[in-house]
Amino acid sequence: MISFSRFVLPNGLRVIHHYDPDSTVVVLNTLFNVGARDESPDKTGFAHLFEHLMFGGSKNVDSYDKAVENAGGSNNAFTNNEYTNYYITVPAENAETAFWLESDRMFQLNVNSKTLEVQRGVVVEEFKQRCHNAPFGMLWHHLRGLLYQKSPYRWPTIGEDISHIENAVLSDVSAFYKKHYHPANAILCVAGQISEEETRTLCEKWYADIAPSGVVNSNIYEEDPAAEGRKFMETEDLSPNPAVFMVWRGPAFMDQKSAALELFADLLGGSEISPIYTRWVKENPVFNDAASFYIRNAGEGMFVLYGVLNEGRNHHEGEQCLMQTLNDAVTGACFTERHMERVKNKATSALLFEKASLINRAQKLCYFENLGNVEEVHNEDELYRKVSLHNMLTAAAGTIKPDNAAVLYYHPKTTS
């Protein structure tokens, strides 16, 4: 159990306090309820751009990283389709420094032409390296594009097109900040060796005067109708081997079927003893690598099944092999109650190891608060424990159907 208390400042900032007497540090984790799905279709990649801009200094802090270093701390951030998360860790005696730094960049970020030019260059270069110059670099562009036509989940966090960041102007960036980066659209978790009383005092001192500059994100988005019919794409990629990827839309994070599909994916192709890997990499080497996994999102999830083909094998053969084993698994030919117990123990053990980290605990508290009920953090392992073999196979049969798959064939990119 993760013990915590919760309060809300008059400006809308939700604060969660988690006391850990065994820690010598304090963590401030700030989740902003904005991700890639909140971008305009012609201005994608802005959420990721802001992950970089937030380290460019603020009204009273010229160099954020230098101030963190001087306090003996460390910091980082990450962005996904649904939210952006920042965290800072400092020695307990320097806790107020963290409040000062985090509140100042929420109050007034130093967004100007110079910082935009610098960070835009960094993000553009990252896009080129990750998407244009790496194996399977455009994978999520292709897969999301196959799955969605209307939903803002149709582009990855890094953005749909590099030109959107290359052409970003200061007025658009400033408007994005004002709309999303304000206290009413944020969740702050203060964790570690700091009392609730001190947390309240420091929050009121450093955050209470920050006025909300926008409304709370509604998290309501345009949706695509249920998938019907096989969707197909064939393209080249920077890979030495051809590959087959298959993906399906699935239920959201807190849906019981989401946990069931995560367990099913792990059993089907999550290890070197899984049926997918054993049959088609070890025993009959159609692939040199093959796996499956389920991505659990606050919105829709994604079930992914893939194989990287060996020389002399073709895409159609690879797809048939994957589907053969998938069908065997869905119809109950591959897994027993013993398999279920093993995979559930693996999942719940991973949760225990995650919670050993103070930063992870702080992030989980923010995440479940953003989902709508922070108390659900106590029930996370129950989502796995309640999944029976029958439940799992039913969820898989209802989600992973041959006639609603999005299929991608990759060919090694030809060189001139």
What confidence tens digit (pLDDT) does each residue in 166-205 have?
Answer: 999 999 999 999 999 999 999 999 999 999 999 999 999 9
Interval 368-376 mean pLDDT: 96
Report the pLDDT value the prediction gives residue 207, as an integer from 0 to 100: 98
Alpha-carbon gap, residue 6 to 370, rounded angstroms = 13
Alpha-carbon gap, residue 4 to 394, rounded angstroms = 36
Q: What domains are there in the chain, each with its CATH number?
A: 5-206 (3.30.830.10), 231-412 (3.30.830.10)
Spatial contact of 153 and 37, defined as CB atoms under 8 Å apart: yes
At 352, the pLDDT band (50, 70, 90 cuts) reads: very high
In whole angstroms, how far apart are CA 109 and each of 61, 71, 104, 255?
Answer: 9, 20, 7, 37
- The whole-model pTM stands at 0.95
Average per-residue pLDDT for the chain: 95
At 415, the pLDDT band (50, 70, 90 cuts) reads: low
**Residue 396 CB contacts under 8 Å (≥ 6 apart), including other chains:** 260, 261, 264, 329, 330
At 262, the pLDDT band (50, 70, 90 cuts) reads: very high
Q: Is the pLDDT of residue 414 over 80?
A: no
At 372, the pLDDT band (50, 70, 90 cuts) reads: very high
Give the helix/strand (H/E) hosting 351.
helix 337-354
What confidence tens digit (pLDDT) does each residue in 310-322 have?
Answer: 999 999 999 999 9
Tokens of 386: 């309640």
Q: In what order do the strands lie in the sheet with 406-412?
A: 231-237, 406-412, 243-250, 301-309, 287-295
Would you state the torsion angle of the CA atoms of residues 271, 277, 279, 283, taken in this order, to the nearest 10 degrees? -100
What confidence tens digit (pLDDT) does each residue in 5-41 have?
Answer: 999 999 999 999 999 999 999 999 999 999 999 999 9
Report the pLDDT value the prediction gives residue 181, as an integer from 0 to 100: 95
**Residue 57 CB contacts under 8 Å (≥ 6 apart), including other chains:** 63, 64, 110, 115
Q: Which amino acid is at 88?
A: I
Cα angle at 89 between 210 and 379, to 5 degrees? 85
- Beta partners for 293? 304
What confidence tens digit (pLDDT) does each residue in 197-247 have?
Answer: 999 999 999 999 999 888 899 999 999 998 889 999 999 988 889 999 999
What confidence tens digit (pLDDT) does each residue in 114-136 have?
Answer: 999 999 999 999 999 999 999 99
What confidence tens digit (pLDDT) does each residue in 63-119 have?
Answer: 999 999 999 999 999 999 999 999 999 999 999 999 999 999 999 999 899 999 999
Q: Is the pLDDT of residue 416 over 60?
A: no
Interval 286-294 mean pLDDT: 98
